[in-house]
Structure 1
Amino acid sequence: MDNDGFVATKKTVAGGEIEEIIDEVEKRYRRFRKFERVSYPPADHHFVGTGIRRNGEQPATEKKIIEEWDMLNTNLPDWIYVRAYESRINLMRAVIIGPPGTPYSQGLFFFDIFFPRTYPARPPKLFYHSHGFDFTSHSPRKVSSSSSLVDSWYGLHLMPVRGGGGRGYECQPRKNWGPPKSNILFLLVSIRDWFLNIAKPCGDYDNDGLVEPRRRRTLMMLGCEAMIQTLAKPPWDFEDFVAGHFRNKAHAILVNFMAHMDQTEDMSRLFLKLLNVFEANGTYCQHHYLAHLKKQPKAKTVSYEDDDDEEPNRFAMTWFNMTKYRF
């Protein structure tokens, strides 16, 4: 540990061993609990102005929600984090981590949750912070032509809306909901299982006859763009979690990205954009850039002639130019 409170550690990643610094961002991330009750909902919560309760209103509903707080506190899986609000019992905010082995791997999917006064007889409403990425419209699950009704176990109905500082989707379960088996934890788990857990292995064909790797790359690129947007503007109450998560998962995300890259310029641009964003967030990533360079085609020599010069001006142009895409 140095005089500023930084701790140096060694980590082995693809490309060799690197030194990483444990600073305040890392410390706050490690202290971030899967479930926590805080006093007030954030101003960017989509439902903060909806269903403001009066004292003593619907005590049975409040009792049920508080019971679910206890369940969430003890039963949340490692890939769901939730914040509940003591002054607004009918609101929550949750994030689901995309499962490994899918195009959504290590992505963060945020949902604002609103419990109606008749909960649990009626299901909660959810607002999905899309950050430009509607994962349901690309899901291999059955989707209607309008992409508004997803034929999942819960039949989530998603309507595009604006709120929470950007575009998102309000969704509400429309079928198979009913106490006592249905609760908020079961709903969050179902979202991951139905929408984010693509079981078809890479190499299969979909119903449209398209090769699965092509769809996988498209989904991965959209998801990575959403990661960049989430880092730039994380939902309130989750700033420490977002920064720490992407600092810790940056290597895995970049390695996975390179494993599915083709030779298109769009993917190379996005790779460098990710690399720069992750480095700005505190992760050393230059070894990934060097690994990426090794995969690129060999340099081609191109001649440029200037009419004012007696000799042609010649220089080598590589297919990939780092400075061109620095962000």
Structure 2
Amino acid sequence: MDFNNSVAMRKRNKCQADFDEIADRVKEIDLCDEDLNDAVDNICKGIMDYICLVWSPAFRYDFDPYFRKKPCFDTRGGSGSRCSQFLAFSQHYRSKFDKFMKIYSRVGIYPKEDVLPAARLSPPIAIDEDVLERYKSFKRFDTVVDHSDHLFSKLPIEQTTEGWAKNIREEWRILRNGLPETIFVRAYESRMDLLRAVIIGAKGTPYHDGLFVFDVYIPSMYPLVSPLVRYHSFGFAINPHLFECGELRIYLSESFGQFSKTLWPSDDLTMLQFLVSIQERVLNADPLFHQPGFVDSGPSVAAKYLSLLYNEDILIKSLKTMIYIMNKPPKNFEAFVVGHFRNRVVDILMACNAYRDGLAQAGGGGGNKEESCCSMEFQKKVHLCIYDLGTAFRKIGATEALEHLSPRATCTWLYGYRRN
């Protein structure tokens, strides 16, 4: 027997044994933070050793389902059966990740029923001819009257001082002059203690092109104490700092992530800075790395793997949030919601098509053919979301969506139901 071939065979056998041992160890662990991290480290170490020592570069390229261009199944056995084994192993890890997410999807202090979507769809939005014109002229800051759907509207009005009212009007002035292009705010003349902010999800994040609604309550002791913030979550925890009920917990101190620091570090902090901090520290490209406990973990292989799975989960929830927002826009933002999604319908559906086809990772937008970083389960979930997106776009008159829908999704667009 050729010496080189015998060495290669021994390496293959050793790697296969190591890989099987890792798989057996992970399947037996109980679900907790330490065990989960150890399991992921073992998974990644075993996979990298196995790939680097055993497989050729050509097959290595198509092996990992999280870093591949297309699925690799070989029904004839051989290396393809090993790939199938790994896909099953990866699915087992995915189930553990889902259990981990369920445990840490915190409900929060507020009643969840307030933010759940209505059981039935709302009546069609009145789409008039000048809706896009009103969208284009939509002010970043303005005062309005109707606060009936504000999540803090039922709180009693506290007794305030003239100095408090002066501070609030100064906050309004700062917001009117300083809001970035991606944040829109409405204040209420009759309830100066309430604000509503809508933040546009940035490109390159799992929140891209979405609209995220935050209701703010300003207490009578502001700015000595922090405002209360509640997100219109529809029951989705889209960030480690956002609970299912919409509660927000974010630490704005310089030593971010340390629980010893306060939520509101200084009475010099303005509402504008507060909203920008929410955008930067909550709706960012790697939300898991901003979770206390992951902040100092560094860009390890295990952390990147977890972040990828987390971003996939968040992007699906973000797409569902789009659907609910279009079905029932928040008051005083109706024209903005319609105009925004009609303006971005093509970008959203092109990105969804890329996710569905495995051509882009979660949050990366569409059309990155050089690298694919998405799981098969994620692709299936995006495919299902496209149907409901088509229905929501049809509801707001976004006819540009038709050419970007698949034939089956077009049935949803035209007839309003899913075809099996």
TM-score calculated relative to the size of structure 1: 0.68
Give 1:241's aligned amino acid: F
Question: 1:210 is paired with a residue of what secondary structure?
Answer: helix
More strand by share: 1
Among candidates 148, 151, 163, match of residue 43 of structure 1: 148
Question: 1:215 is paired with a residue of what secondary structure?
Answer: helix
Contact kept? 1:72, 1:185, Cα under 8 Å: yes
Alignment correspondent of 1:195: 282
Alignment correspondent of 2:174: 71
Q: RMSD of the alignment, in Å?
A: 3.3
CA distance in 1, matches of 2:320, 2:277: 24
Deviation readout 1:181-229 (Å, 9 max, x if unpaired)? x1111111001101111259xxx86645636544333221110001101
Question: 1:217 is paired with a residue of what secondary structure?
Answer: helix
Alignment correspondent of 1:298: none
Alignment of 1:141-220 (within 5 A): 152-153=251-252, 174-180=262-268, 182-199=269-286, 207=302, 210=305, 212-220=307-315
Q: Summarize the Cα distance change of 1:241–1:92 in structure 2 as closer, same or farther, 3 Å threshold.
A: same
* Greater radius of gyration (CA): 2
Contact kept? 1:97, 1:107, Cα under 8 Å: yes
Q: Summarize the Cα distance change of 1:36–1:64 in structure 2 as closer, same or farther, 3 Å threshold.
A: same
More helix by share: 2
The farther-off stretch of 264-273 and 112-121 is 264-273
Q: Which runs of 5+ in 1 are unaligned?
A: 1-20, 158-172, 294-319
Shift of residue 74, structure 1, vs aligned partner: 0.6
Among candidates 207, 215, 218, match of residue 115 of structure 1: 218
The farther-off stretch of 107-116 and 264-273 is 264-273
Give 2:252's aligned amino acid: W
TM-score calculated relative to the size of structure 2: 0.53
Q: Percent same amino acid among aligned pairs? A: 32
Contact kept? 2:251, 2:263, Cα under 8 Å: no
Q: Summarize the Cα distance change of 1:151–1:122 in structure 2 as closer, same or farther, 3 Å threshold.
A: closer
Match status 1:230 vs 2:325: yes
Question: 1:88 is paired with a residue of what secondary structure?
Answer: coil
Deviation readout 1:258-301 (Å, 9 max, x if unpaired)? 22224654322211221232133112212212xx56xxxxxxxx
Q: Which runs of 5+ in 2 are unaligned?
A: 1-126, 288-298, 359-375
Give 2:280's aligned amino acid: D
Give 1:98's aligned amino acid: G
How many aligned residue pairs are there? 251
Shift of residue 247, structure 1, vs aligned partner: 0.9
Deviation readout 1:86-108 (Å, 9 max, x if unpaired)? 11111111111111111100111
Among candidates 390, 393, 403, match of residue 287 of structure 1: 403
